[in-house]
Chains A and B, each alone.
Chain A
Amino acid sequence: MTGSGDGLLQVENLGKRFGGFVALENISLSVAAGERLGLIGPNGSGKSTLVNCICGTLRNEFGNVRFGGQKLDGLDAHERTHLGLARSFQLPRPFVSLSLADNIRIPLLYTVAMRPDRRHTPHEVEERCVALLDEVGLGDKARRLPRDLTQVEMRKLELARAMASEPKLLIADEAMAGLTHSEIEDILALLVRLNEQGVTVILIEHIMSAVMSFSRRLVVLVSGRKIADGAPNDVMRDPEVERAYLGQ
Protein backbone atom coordinates (compact mmCIF):
# COMPACT_ATOMS: atom_id res chain seq x y z
CA MET A 1 0.00 0.00 0.00
CA THR A 2 2.15 2.84 -1.17
CA GLY A 3 -0.18 5.07 -3.19
CA SER A 4 -3.83 5.70 -3.73
CA GLY A 5 -6.34 2.91 -3.59
CA ASP A 6 -9.16 1.77 -1.37
CA GLY A 7 -8.42 2.75 2.17
CA LEU A 8 -9.98 4.38 5.22
CA LEU A 9 -8.04 7.53 4.47
CA GLN A 10 -7.03 8.47 0.95
CA VAL A 11 -4.96 11.51 0.15
CA GLU A 12 -4.72 12.18 -3.60
CA ASN A 13 -2.22 14.60 -5.13
CA LEU A 14 -2.57 16.97 -2.22
CA GLY A 15 -0.83 20.33 -2.47
CA LYS A 16 -0.64 23.32 -0.14
CA ARG A 17 1.01 26.67 -0.64
CA PHE A 18 1.54 29.60 1.69
CA GLY A 19 1.92 32.43 -0.77
CA GLY A 20 4.91 31.50 -2.90
CA PHE A 21 6.13 28.82 -0.51
CA VAL A 22 5.20 25.25 -1.45
CA ALA A 23 4.51 23.45 1.82
CA LEU A 24 3.15 20.25 0.28
CA GLU A 25 3.49 19.01 -3.27
CA ASN A 26 1.63 16.16 -4.88
CA ILE A 27 1.20 14.05 -1.74
CA SER A 28 -0.64 10.76 -2.28
CA LEU A 29 -1.23 8.40 0.56
CA SER A 30 -3.61 5.60 1.48
CA VAL A 31 -4.16 4.34 5.00
CA ALA A 32 -6.07 1.11 5.54
CA ALA A 33 -8.46 0.54 8.41
CA GLY A 34 -6.67 -0.79 11.48
CA GLU A 35 -3.24 0.20 10.17
CA ARG A 36 -0.35 1.60 12.23
CA LEU A 37 1.33 4.19 10.07
CA GLY A 38 4.39 6.19 11.02
CA LEU A 39 4.89 9.60 9.39
CA ILE A 40 8.37 11.01 9.72
CA GLY A 41 10.53 13.71 8.23
CA PRO A 42 12.91 16.48 9.23
CA ASN A 43 11.60 19.66 10.80
CA GLY A 44 9.72 21.73 8.25
CA SER A 45 9.05 18.78 5.96
CA GLY A 46 5.30 19.38 6.01
CA LYS A 47 4.08 16.70 8.41
CA SER A 48 1.92 19.00 10.53
CA THR A 49 0.72 20.85 7.42
CA LEU A 50 -0.40 17.53 5.97
CA VAL A 51 -2.23 16.70 9.20
CA ASN A 52 -3.87 20.13 9.23
CA CYS A 53 -5.07 19.65 5.65
CA ILE A 54 -6.44 16.19 6.41
CA CYS A 55 -8.23 17.39 9.56
CA GLY A 56 -9.59 20.57 8.01
CA THR A 57 -7.62 23.13 9.99
CA LEU A 58 -6.05 24.26 6.72
CA ARG A 59 -7.55 24.15 3.23
CA ASN A 60 -5.47 22.45 0.56
CA GLU A 61 -5.35 24.16 -2.81
CA PHE A 62 -4.71 21.02 -4.83
CA GLY A 63 -5.84 17.43 -4.64
CA ASN A 64 -8.37 15.98 -2.27
CA VAL A 65 -8.83 13.92 0.84
CA ARG A 66 -11.30 11.08 1.24
CA PHE A 67 -12.28 9.45 4.49
CA GLY A 68 -14.36 6.28 4.51
CA GLY A 69 -15.02 6.89 0.83
CA GLN A 70 -16.38 10.39 1.45
CA LYS A 71 -14.71 13.46 -0.01
CA LEU A 72 -13.78 15.91 2.72
CA ASP A 73 -13.50 19.01 0.50
CA GLY A 74 -15.40 21.90 1.99
CA LEU A 75 -16.01 20.19 5.30
CA ASP A 76 -15.04 22.12 8.42
CA ALA A 77 -12.77 20.56 11.00
CA HIS A 78 -15.62 19.73 13.37
CA GLU A 79 -17.50 17.95 10.57
CA ARG A 80 -14.45 15.79 9.85
CA THR A 81 -14.27 14.97 13.54
CA HIS A 82 -17.90 13.88 13.44
CA LEU A 83 -16.98 11.45 10.64
CA GLY A 84 -14.39 9.79 12.86
CA LEU A 85 -11.16 11.71 12.25
CA ALA A 86 -9.41 12.71 15.45
CA ARG A 87 -6.09 14.31 16.18
CA SER A 88 -3.91 15.32 19.05
CA PHE A 89 -1.89 18.51 18.77
CA GLN A 90 1.86 18.81 18.72
CA LEU A 91 1.68 21.25 21.63
CA PRO A 92 -1.15 20.17 23.94
CA ARG A 93 -4.18 22.46 23.71
CA PRO A 94 -6.35 21.72 26.71
CA PHE A 95 -9.42 23.78 27.55
CA VAL A 96 -7.77 25.59 30.42
CA SER A 97 -10.89 26.78 32.24
CA LEU A 98 -12.46 23.31 32.26
CA SER A 99 -11.62 20.41 34.54
CA LEU A 100 -10.04 17.28 33.06
CA ALA A 101 -13.41 15.53 33.13
CA ASP A 102 -15.00 18.44 31.32
CA ASN A 103 -12.21 18.42 28.72
CA ILE A 104 -13.18 14.82 27.95
CA ARG A 105 -16.88 15.67 28.07
CA ILE A 106 -16.64 18.04 25.10
CA PRO A 107 -16.06 15.44 22.37
CA LEU A 108 -18.68 13.21 23.98
CA LEU A 109 -21.26 15.98 23.86
CA TYR A 110 -20.37 17.39 20.47
CA THR A 111 -19.15 14.39 18.47
CA VAL A 112 -20.36 11.11 19.90
CA ALA A 113 -23.79 12.59 20.64
CA MET A 114 -24.12 13.55 16.96
CA ARG A 115 -24.30 9.91 16.00
CA PRO A 116 -27.90 8.68 16.08
CA ASP A 117 -27.05 5.36 17.69
CA ARG A 118 -24.84 6.92 20.38
CA ARG A 119 -27.06 9.07 22.54
CA HIS A 120 -25.96 9.11 26.16
CA THR A 121 -27.73 10.17 29.28
CA PRO A 122 -25.84 12.70 31.43
CA HIS A 123 -24.95 9.85 33.79
CA GLU A 124 -23.50 7.78 30.94
CA VAL A 125 -21.49 10.78 29.75
CA GLU A 126 -20.09 11.22 33.25
CA GLU A 127 -19.19 7.53 33.47
CA ARG A 128 -17.48 7.62 30.09
CA CYS A 129 -15.42 10.69 31.12
CA VAL A 130 -14.17 8.91 34.22
CA ALA A 131 -13.47 5.69 32.31
CA LEU A 132 -11.37 7.50 29.69
CA LEU A 133 -9.40 9.35 32.32
CA ASP A 134 -8.80 6.08 34.17
CA GLU A 135 -7.56 4.53 30.93
CA VAL A 136 -4.83 7.15 30.65
CA GLY A 137 -4.06 7.16 34.36
CA LEU A 138 -5.66 10.51 35.17
CA GLY A 139 -8.79 9.24 36.91
CA ASP A 140 -7.82 10.67 40.29
CA LYS A 141 -7.42 14.15 38.77
CA ALA A 142 -10.80 14.34 37.08
CA ARG A 143 -11.80 17.54 38.89
CA ARG A 144 -8.42 19.27 38.54
CA LEU A 145 -7.59 21.90 35.99
CA PRO A 146 -5.07 21.32 33.19
CA ARG A 147 -2.65 23.83 34.73
CA ASP A 148 -2.07 21.32 37.56
CA LEU A 149 -0.79 18.64 35.16
CA THR A 150 2.76 17.61 34.29
CA GLN A 151 3.98 17.51 30.69
CA VAL A 152 3.26 13.81 30.21
CA GLU A 153 -0.14 14.13 31.90
CA MET A 154 -1.00 16.97 29.54
CA ARG A 155 -0.16 14.75 26.56
CA LYS A 156 -2.22 11.92 27.99
CA LEU A 157 -5.13 14.31 28.40
CA GLU A 158 -4.69 15.38 24.80
CA LEU A 159 -4.86 11.75 23.66
CA ALA A 160 -7.78 10.95 25.95
CA ARG A 161 -9.72 13.88 24.52
CA ALA A 162 -9.05 12.63 21.00
CA MET A 163 -10.12 9.13 22.06
CA ALA A 164 -13.32 10.51 23.57
CA SER A 165 -14.63 11.30 20.10
CA GLU A 166 -14.55 7.53 19.39
CA PRO A 167 -12.57 7.99 16.21
CA LYS A 168 -12.00 5.57 13.38
CA LEU A 169 -8.61 7.20 12.78
CA LEU A 170 -6.39 9.02 15.24
CA ILE A 171 -3.48 11.19 14.19
CA ALA A 172 -1.03 11.53 17.10
CA ASP A 173 1.13 14.54 16.28
CA GLU A 174 4.40 14.32 18.25
CA ALA A 175 2.63 13.02 21.31
CA MET A 176 5.91 12.01 22.94
CA ALA A 177 8.02 15.12 22.47
CA GLY A 178 10.04 16.00 25.54
CA LEU A 179 9.13 12.87 27.49
CA THR A 180 11.37 10.43 29.33
CA HIS A 181 11.85 6.84 28.17
CA SER A 182 9.27 5.40 30.56
CA GLU A 183 6.79 8.12 29.68
CA ILE A 184 7.27 7.34 26.00
CA GLU A 185 6.56 3.68 26.76
CA ASP A 186 3.32 4.75 28.51
CA ILE A 187 2.12 6.69 25.50
CA LEU A 188 3.13 3.92 23.10
CA ALA A 189 1.24 1.35 25.17
CA LEU A 190 -1.80 3.61 25.03
CA LEU A 191 -1.60 3.89 21.25
CA VAL A 192 -1.14 0.14 20.83
CA ARG A 193 -4.19 -0.49 23.04
CA LEU A 194 -6.17 1.92 20.96
CA ASN A 195 -5.12 0.24 17.74
CA GLU A 196 -6.04 -3.14 19.16
CA GLN A 197 -9.51 -1.75 19.78
CA GLY A 198 -9.78 -1.11 16.05
CA VAL A 199 -8.65 2.48 15.75
CA THR A 200 -6.32 3.28 12.86
CA VAL A 201 -3.36 5.29 14.13
CA ILE A 202 -1.02 7.63 12.28
CA LEU A 203 1.97 8.39 14.48
CA ILE A 204 4.01 11.48 13.73
CA GLU A 205 7.26 11.46 15.68
CA HIS A 206 10.92 12.35 15.71
CA ILE A 207 11.73 9.63 18.26
CA MET A 208 12.85 6.91 15.86
CA SER A 209 12.84 4.06 18.38
CA ALA A 210 9.19 4.75 19.13
CA VAL A 211 8.28 5.07 15.46
CA MET A 212 10.08 1.87 14.51
CA SER A 213 8.55 -0.15 17.32
CA PHE A 214 5.02 1.09 16.73
CA SER A 215 4.69 1.42 12.96
CA ARG A 216 3.92 -1.34 10.51
CA ARG A 217 4.45 1.07 7.64
CA LEU A 218 6.47 4.23 7.34
CA VAL A 219 6.00 7.32 5.17
CA VAL A 220 8.74 9.91 4.87
CA LEU A 221 8.21 13.55 3.93
CA VAL A 222 11.01 15.89 2.97
CA SER A 223 10.48 19.50 1.88
CA GLY A 224 6.79 18.89 1.25
CA ARG A 225 7.28 15.80 -0.92
CA LYS A 226 6.80 12.11 -0.12
CA ILE A 227 10.09 10.36 -0.73
CA ALA A 228 9.46 6.93 0.75
CA ASP A 229 6.58 4.69 1.71
CA GLY A 230 6.92 1.10 2.86
CA ALA A 231 8.02 -1.27 5.61
CA PRO A 232 9.99 0.57 8.31
CA ASN A 233 13.28 -1.33 7.84
CA ASP A 234 13.14 -0.91 4.06
CA VAL A 235 12.38 2.80 4.35
CA MET A 236 15.22 3.43 6.78
CA ARG A 237 17.65 1.78 4.36
CA ASP A 238 16.43 3.96 1.48
CA PRO A 239 19.40 6.11 0.28
CA GLU A 240 17.17 9.15 -0.19
CA VAL A 241 15.91 8.85 3.38
CA GLU A 242 19.45 8.50 4.67
CA ARG A 243 20.44 11.62 2.72
CA ALA A 244 17.51 13.55 4.13
CA TYR A 245 18.43 12.75 7.72
CA LEU A 246 22.20 12.44 7.58
CA GLY A 247 23.14 14.61 4.59
CA GLN A 248 25.45 13.61 1.72
Chain B
Amino acid sequence: MRTPTFLLVCLAIGAAVFAASLALGNDYIFFAGYVVMQYVVLSTAWNILGGYCGYVNFGSAAFFALGAYSTVAIYKLITENDFYRMPMPVLMLIGGAVSGVVGLGMGYLTLRLRGAFFAIATLALAVVLQTLVVNWDFVGGSRGAYIIRPEQIEPIGNYIRYLFLIMMLLAVAAVTIARMIEHSRLGYGFATIRDDELAAEASGVPTLRLKLIATTISGALMGMAGAPFPYYIGYLQPASTFGLDYAVNSIAMPLIGGTTSWVGPLIGAVLLGSLQQIATVTISSAVNLLIVGCLLVIFVIIAPNGIVGLIHTYLQHKPEDFVGRHHVDADAPGRVP
Protein backbone atom coordinates (compact mmCIF):
# COMPACT_ATOMS: atom_id res chain seq x y z
CA MET B 1 0.00 0.00 0.00
CA ARG B 2 1.47 3.32 -1.01
CA THR B 3 1.94 6.03 1.59
CA PRO B 4 -0.79 8.45 0.39
CA THR B 5 -3.31 5.59 0.38
CA PHE B 6 -2.20 4.50 3.83
CA LEU B 7 -2.56 8.05 5.12
CA LEU B 8 -6.07 8.30 3.69
CA VAL B 9 -7.04 4.99 5.28
CA CYS B 10 -5.70 6.15 8.65
CA LEU B 11 -7.53 9.45 8.39
CA ALA B 12 -10.73 7.62 7.51
CA ILE B 13 -10.33 5.34 10.52
CA GLY B 14 -9.59 8.37 12.68
CA ALA B 15 -12.68 10.15 11.42
CA ALA B 16 -14.77 7.07 12.18
CA VAL B 17 -13.34 6.85 15.70
CA PHE B 18 -14.03 10.54 16.30
CA ALA B 19 -17.57 10.25 14.97
CA ALA B 20 -18.23 7.16 17.09
CA SER B 21 -16.89 8.93 20.18
CA LEU B 22 -19.17 11.89 19.51
CA ALA B 23 -22.12 9.56 19.10
CA LEU B 24 -21.50 8.04 22.55
CA GLY B 25 -22.30 11.44 24.01
CA ASN B 26 -19.83 11.21 26.91
CA ASP B 27 -16.89 13.59 26.88
CA TYR B 28 -14.87 11.30 29.17
CA ILE B 29 -14.24 9.17 26.07
CA PHE B 30 -12.20 12.06 24.73
CA PHE B 31 -10.27 12.45 28.01
CA ALA B 32 -9.35 8.78 27.98
CA GLY B 33 -8.85 8.63 24.22
CA TYR B 34 -6.43 11.55 24.35
CA VAL B 35 -4.13 9.57 26.63
CA VAL B 36 -4.28 6.52 24.38
CA MET B 37 -3.46 8.60 21.29
CA GLN B 38 -0.66 10.31 23.20
CA TYR B 39 0.87 6.94 23.94
CA VAL B 40 0.52 5.91 20.32
CA VAL B 41 2.72 8.88 19.45
CA LEU B 42 5.18 8.31 22.30
CA SER B 43 5.60 4.60 21.67
CA THR B 44 5.91 5.07 17.91
CA ALA B 45 8.47 7.80 18.45
CA TRP B 46 10.42 5.66 20.91
CA ASN B 47 10.38 2.76 18.49
CA ILE B 48 12.04 4.76 15.72
CA LEU B 49 15.21 4.92 17.82
CA GLY B 50 14.76 1.96 20.14
CA GLY B 51 13.12 -0.60 17.88
CA TYR B 52 14.42 0.30 14.44
CA CYS B 53 17.97 1.28 15.48
CA GLY B 54 18.32 -0.74 18.67
CA TYR B 55 19.25 2.24 20.85
CA VAL B 56 17.16 2.16 24.03
CA ASN B 57 16.06 5.59 25.20
CA PHE B 58 15.17 5.89 28.89
CA GLY B 59 14.64 9.62 28.58
CA SER B 60 11.26 9.74 26.82
CA ALA B 61 9.82 11.76 29.69
CA ALA B 62 12.45 14.43 29.10
CA PHE B 63 11.42 15.00 25.50
CA PHE B 64 7.75 14.85 26.41
CA ALA B 65 8.31 17.38 29.17
CA LEU B 66 10.30 19.66 26.87
CA GLY B 67 7.26 19.91 24.62
CA ALA B 68 4.98 20.52 27.60
CA TYR B 69 7.17 23.19 29.14
CA SER B 70 7.65 24.91 25.79
CA THR B 71 3.89 25.40 25.81
CA VAL B 72 3.99 26.63 29.40
CA ALA B 73 6.75 29.11 28.56
CA ILE B 74 4.81 30.48 25.59
CA TYR B 75 1.66 30.61 27.70
CA LYS B 76 3.47 32.61 30.37
CA LEU B 77 5.02 34.88 27.78
CA ILE B 78 2.05 35.80 25.65
CA THR B 79 -1.17 34.02 26.55
CA GLU B 80 -1.52 34.56 30.29
CA ASN B 81 -2.10 38.27 29.83
CA ASP B 82 -4.75 37.57 27.21
CA PHE B 83 -2.40 38.99 24.65
CA TYR B 84 -2.57 36.17 22.15
CA ARG B 85 -3.49 32.50 22.28
CA MET B 86 -1.18 30.61 20.02
CA PRO B 87 -2.93 27.89 18.01
CA MET B 88 -2.30 24.38 19.27
CA PRO B 89 -0.73 23.11 16.02
CA VAL B 90 1.83 25.93 16.23
CA LEU B 91 2.56 25.05 19.86
CA MET B 92 3.09 21.46 18.82
CA LEU B 93 5.50 22.47 16.08
CA ILE B 94 7.44 24.61 18.54
CA GLY B 95 7.49 21.82 21.10
CA GLY B 96 8.61 19.41 18.44
CA ALA B 97 11.35 21.76 17.25
CA VAL B 98 12.68 22.27 20.78
CA SER B 99 12.68 18.55 21.54
CA GLY B 100 14.12 17.74 18.14
CA VAL B 101 17.03 20.10 18.62
CA VAL B 102 17.69 18.72 22.09
CA GLY B 103 17.46 15.21 20.67
CA LEU B 104 20.01 16.11 18.02
CA GLY B 105 22.33 17.61 20.61
CA MET B 106 21.97 14.71 22.97
CA GLY B 107 22.55 12.32 20.13
CA TYR B 108 25.69 14.10 19.03
CA LEU B 109 27.10 13.81 22.56
CA THR B 110 26.00 10.27 23.33
CA LEU B 111 25.52 8.27 20.15
CA ARG B 112 29.19 7.49 19.88
CA LEU B 113 28.51 5.42 23.00
CA ARG B 114 26.96 2.05 22.53
CA GLY B 115 24.59 -0.21 24.37
CA ALA B 116 24.07 0.45 28.04
CA PHE B 117 26.16 3.65 27.99
CA PHE B 118 23.75 5.36 25.63
CA ALA B 119 20.75 4.25 27.68
CA ILE B 120 22.33 5.60 30.87
CA ALA B 121 23.08 8.90 29.13
CA THR B 122 19.42 9.30 28.17
CA LEU B 123 18.42 8.67 31.76
CA ALA B 124 20.91 11.31 32.86
CA LEU B 125 19.37 13.77 30.42
CA ALA B 126 15.95 13.30 31.99
CA VAL B 127 17.36 13.94 35.45
CA VAL B 128 19.25 17.04 34.29
CA LEU B 129 16.20 18.51 32.57
CA GLN B 130 13.96 17.84 35.55
CA THR B 131 16.43 19.59 37.81
CA LEU B 132 16.51 22.57 35.45
CA VAL B 133 12.72 22.81 35.32
CA VAL B 134 12.33 22.46 39.09
CA ASN B 135 14.62 25.43 39.51
CA TRP B 136 13.10 27.57 36.75
CA ASP B 137 10.52 29.82 38.41
CA PHE B 138 9.26 31.27 35.16
CA VAL B 139 7.53 27.98 34.29
CA GLY B 140 6.45 27.43 37.86
CA GLY B 141 9.41 25.46 39.18
CA SER B 142 8.53 22.84 41.76
CA ARG B 143 5.22 24.62 42.54
CA GLY B 144 3.93 23.82 39.07
CA ALA B 145 2.08 25.94 36.55
CA TYR B 146 -1.60 26.45 35.85
CA ILE B 147 -2.82 26.60 32.29
CA ILE B 148 -6.37 27.75 31.75
CA ARG B 149 -7.97 25.55 29.17
CA PRO B 150 -10.54 27.24 26.96
CA GLU B 151 -14.04 25.82 27.38
CA GLN B 152 -15.02 25.74 23.77
CA ILE B 153 -13.47 25.96 20.34
CA GLU B 154 -15.53 26.33 17.22
CA PRO B 155 -16.68 24.35 15.33
CA ILE B 156 -15.78 21.31 17.43
CA GLY B 157 -17.27 22.45 20.68
CA ASN B 158 -15.77 21.20 23.93
CA TYR B 159 -12.03 21.92 23.96
CA ILE B 160 -11.19 18.40 25.12
CA ARG B 161 -12.69 17.09 21.88
CA TYR B 162 -10.35 19.41 20.01
CA LEU B 163 -7.34 18.13 21.97
CA PHE B 164 -8.37 14.54 21.25
CA LEU B 165 -8.70 15.34 17.54
CA ILE B 166 -5.31 17.06 17.45
CA MET B 167 -3.63 14.18 19.25
CA MET B 168 -5.30 11.65 16.97
CA LEU B 169 -4.04 13.53 13.90
CA LEU B 170 -0.56 13.53 15.43
CA ALA B 171 -0.87 9.78 16.04
CA VAL B 172 -1.81 9.29 12.37
CA ALA B 173 1.18 11.39 11.35
CA ALA B 174 3.54 9.50 13.66
CA VAL B 175 2.41 6.09 12.44
CA THR B 176 2.64 7.23 8.82
CA ILE B 177 6.15 8.59 9.37
CA ALA B 178 7.21 5.35 11.06
CA ARG B 179 5.81 3.29 8.20
CA MET B 180 7.47 5.54 5.61
CA ILE B 181 10.80 5.16 7.38
CA GLU B 182 10.42 1.39 7.61
CA HIS B 183 9.72 1.10 3.88
CA SER B 184 12.55 3.41 2.84
CA ARG B 185 16.29 3.43 2.40
CA LEU B 186 16.48 5.05 5.84
CA GLY B 187 14.66 2.07 7.33
CA TYR B 188 17.16 -0.34 5.81
CA GLY B 189 19.95 1.72 7.31
CA PHE B 190 18.30 1.68 10.75
CA ALA B 191 17.91 -2.10 10.57
CA THR B 192 21.61 -2.57 9.83
CA ILE B 193 22.52 -0.41 12.82
CA ARG B 194 20.31 -2.57 14.99
CA ASP B 195 21.68 -5.84 13.61
CA ASP B 196 25.39 -5.06 13.38
CA GLU B 197 26.75 -1.55 13.44
CA LEU B 198 30.28 -2.60 12.48
CA ALA B 199 29.08 -4.44 9.40
CA ALA B 200 26.81 -1.50 8.60
CA GLU B 201 29.78 0.87 8.52
CA ALA B 202 31.71 -1.61 6.36
CA SER B 203 28.75 -1.64 3.96
CA GLY B 204 28.85 2.13 3.60
CA VAL B 205 26.08 3.06 6.03
CA PRO B 206 26.81 6.41 7.76
CA THR B 207 25.72 5.09 11.13
CA LEU B 208 26.24 8.21 13.23
CA ARG B 209 24.31 10.38 10.78
CA LEU B 210 21.42 7.92 10.68
CA LYS B 211 21.32 7.64 14.45
CA LEU B 212 21.20 11.41 14.71
CA ILE B 213 18.29 11.46 12.28
CA ALA B 214 16.49 8.83 14.37
CA THR B 215 17.12 10.70 17.62
CA THR B 216 15.90 13.97 16.14
CA ILE B 217 12.71 12.50 14.66
CA SER B 218 12.01 10.53 17.83
CA GLY B 219 12.61 13.53 20.09
CA ALA B 220 10.55 15.84 17.90
CA LEU B 221 7.53 13.53 17.89
CA MET B 222 7.73 13.14 21.67
CA GLY B 223 7.91 16.90 22.06
CA MET B 224 4.88 17.34 19.82
CA ALA B 225 3.01 14.83 21.99
CA GLY B 226 3.92 16.82 25.08
CA ALA B 227 2.96 20.25 23.76
CA PRO B 228 -0.84 19.98 24.28
CA PHE B 229 -0.42 18.27 27.65
CA PRO B 230 -0.57 21.45 29.80
CA TYR B 231 -3.93 22.32 28.22
CA TYR B 232 -5.13 18.78 28.80
CA ILE B 233 -4.06 18.51 32.41
CA GLY B 234 -4.61 22.12 33.48
CA TYR B 235 -1.92 21.98 36.14
CA LEU B 236 1.60 20.95 35.22
CA GLN B 237 4.19 19.96 37.76
CA PRO B 238 7.65 18.44 37.23
CA ALA B 239 7.02 15.31 39.30
CA SER B 240 4.17 14.14 37.08
CA THR B 241 5.51 15.45 33.77
CA PHE B 242 8.85 13.71 34.25
CA GLY B 243 7.09 10.75 35.83
CA LEU B 244 7.93 7.11 35.43
CA ASP B 245 4.70 6.50 33.50
CA TYR B 246 5.97 8.13 30.33
CA ALA B 247 9.40 6.52 30.37
CA VAL B 248 8.08 3.05 31.20
CA ASN B 249 5.05 3.11 28.92
CA SER B 250 7.06 4.44 25.97
CA ILE B 251 9.29 1.37 26.24
CA ALA B 252 6.74 -1.22 27.33
CA MET B 253 4.17 -0.51 24.66
CA PRO B 254 6.48 -1.15 21.69
CA LEU B 255 8.00 -4.17 23.45
CA ILE B 256 4.57 -5.67 24.02
CA GLY B 257 3.31 -4.79 20.56
CA GLY B 258 6.50 -5.62 18.68
CA THR B 259 9.49 -3.42 17.91
CA THR B 260 10.41 -4.34 14.36
CA SER B 261 7.33 -2.91 12.71
CA TRP B 262 5.31 0.31 12.76
CA VAL B 263 2.19 -1.58 13.82
CA GLY B 264 3.74 -2.99 17.02
CA PRO B 265 3.77 0.27 19.02
CA LEU B 266 0.27 1.04 17.76
CA ILE B 267 -1.05 -2.30 19.02
CA GLY B 268 0.83 -1.96 22.29
CA ALA B 269 -0.32 1.60 22.91
CA VAL B 270 -3.97 0.93 22.11
CA LEU B 271 -4.03 -2.27 24.17
CA LEU B 272 -2.04 -1.10 27.15
CA GLY B 273 -3.34 2.46 27.07
CA SER B 274 -6.94 1.29 27.02
CA LEU B 275 -6.32 -1.18 29.85
CA GLN B 276 -4.77 1.56 31.93
CA GLN B 277 -7.68 3.92 31.31
CA ILE B 278 -10.17 1.20 32.26
CA ALA B 279 -8.15 0.48 35.40
CA THR B 280 -8.07 4.19 36.24
CA VAL B 281 -11.87 4.48 36.33
CA THR B 282 -12.59 1.07 37.84
CA ILE B 283 -9.78 0.59 40.36
CA SER B 284 -7.19 3.35 40.56
CA SER B 285 -4.53 4.99 38.39
CA ALA B 286 -1.99 3.62 40.86
CA VAL B 287 -2.35 0.14 39.29
CA ASN B 288 -1.30 1.38 35.84
CA LEU B 289 2.39 0.70 36.35
CA LEU B 290 1.51 -2.65 37.90
CA ILE B 291 -0.36 -3.59 34.74
CA VAL B 292 2.63 -2.55 32.62
CA GLY B 293 5.04 -4.47 34.80
CA CYS B 294 3.01 -7.69 34.77
CA LEU B 295 2.41 -7.58 31.03
CA LEU B 296 6.08 -6.87 30.36
CA VAL B 297 7.18 -9.89 32.39
CA ILE B 298 4.61 -12.11 30.63
CA PHE B 299 5.60 -10.95 27.17
CA VAL B 300 9.33 -11.14 27.79
CA ILE B 301 8.85 -14.78 28.77
CA ILE B 302 6.30 -16.00 26.24
CA ALA B 303 6.58 -13.54 23.36
CA PRO B 304 9.87 -11.62 23.30
CA ASN B 305 9.03 -10.37 19.79
CA GLY B 306 5.73 -8.95 20.98
CA ILE B 307 2.23 -9.44 19.64
CA VAL B 308 3.39 -8.89 16.07
CA GLY B 309 5.99 -11.59 16.53
CA LEU B 310 3.34 -13.95 17.91
CA ILE B 311 1.08 -13.32 14.94
CA HIS B 312 3.97 -13.85 12.55
CA THR B 313 4.89 -17.15 14.17
CA TYR B 314 1.26 -18.27 14.05
CA LEU B 315 0.76 -17.32 10.44
CA GLN B 316 4.19 -18.63 9.36
CA HIS B 317 4.55 -16.02 6.68
CA LYS B 318 5.33 -12.33 6.41
CA PRO B 319 2.49 -10.04 5.23
CA GLU B 320 4.74 -7.36 3.77
CA ASP B 321 2.89 -4.42 5.22
CA PHE B 322 2.68 -5.56 8.84
CA VAL B 323 5.73 -7.52 9.94
CA GLY B 324 9.23 -6.01 10.00
CA ARG B 325 10.35 -6.42 6.43
CA HIS B 326 12.18 -3.92 4.40
CA HIS B 327 11.38 -3.07 0.85
CA VAL B 328 12.28 0.12 -0.90
CA ASP B 329 9.03 1.90 -1.69
CA ALA B 330 8.29 1.80 -5.41
CA ASP B 331 8.20 5.59 -5.47
CA ALA B 332 11.41 6.03 -3.55
CA PRO B 333 14.52 6.95 -5.53
CA GLY B 334 17.30 4.39 -5.67
CA ARG B 335 19.93 6.95 -4.75
CA VAL B 336 20.85 9.22 -1.87
CA PRO B 337 18.17 11.90 -1.40
Chain A residues close to B by CB (< 8 Å):
55-57, 76-78, 81-82, 86-87, 89, 93-99, 102, 105-107, 109-111, 113-114, 119-122, 124-125, 161-162, 164-165
Contacts and interface: CB of A to CB of B under 8 A. Distances in A.
Contacts of B137: none
A57 B196 contact: no
Query: Which 3 pairs, one residue from A and one from B, show the smallest C-beta to C-beta distance?
Result: A111-B204, A77-B201, A93-B199
A102 B260 CA distance: 15
Contacts of B260: 97
Given A98-B188, A122-B330, A76 B206 contact: yes
A168 B199 CA distance: 18
Nearest to A143: B318
B185 A93 contact: no
A55 B196 CA distance: 16
A54 B332 CA distance: 34
A94 B334 CA distance: 22
Given A105-B188, A120-B334, A93 B205 contact: no
A204 B64 CA distance: 51
A119 B335 contact: yes
Contacts of B334: 109, 113, 119-122, 124-125
A81 B192 CA distance: 15
A82 B203 CA distance: 9
A113 B189 CA distance: 13
B195 interface: yes
A95 B195 contact: yes
Given A120-B334, A121-B334, A125-B328, A82 B204 contact: yes
Nearest to A158: B199
Nearest to A125: B334
A122 B203 contact: no
A81 B204 contact: yes
A191 to B, nearest CB: 18
Residue in A87, A99, A110 with the greatest tally of chain B CB atoms within 10 Å: A110
A105 B203 CA distance: 10
A208 B195 CA distance: 33
Contacts of A114: 204, 336
B198 A93 contact: yes
A97 B196 CA distance: 10
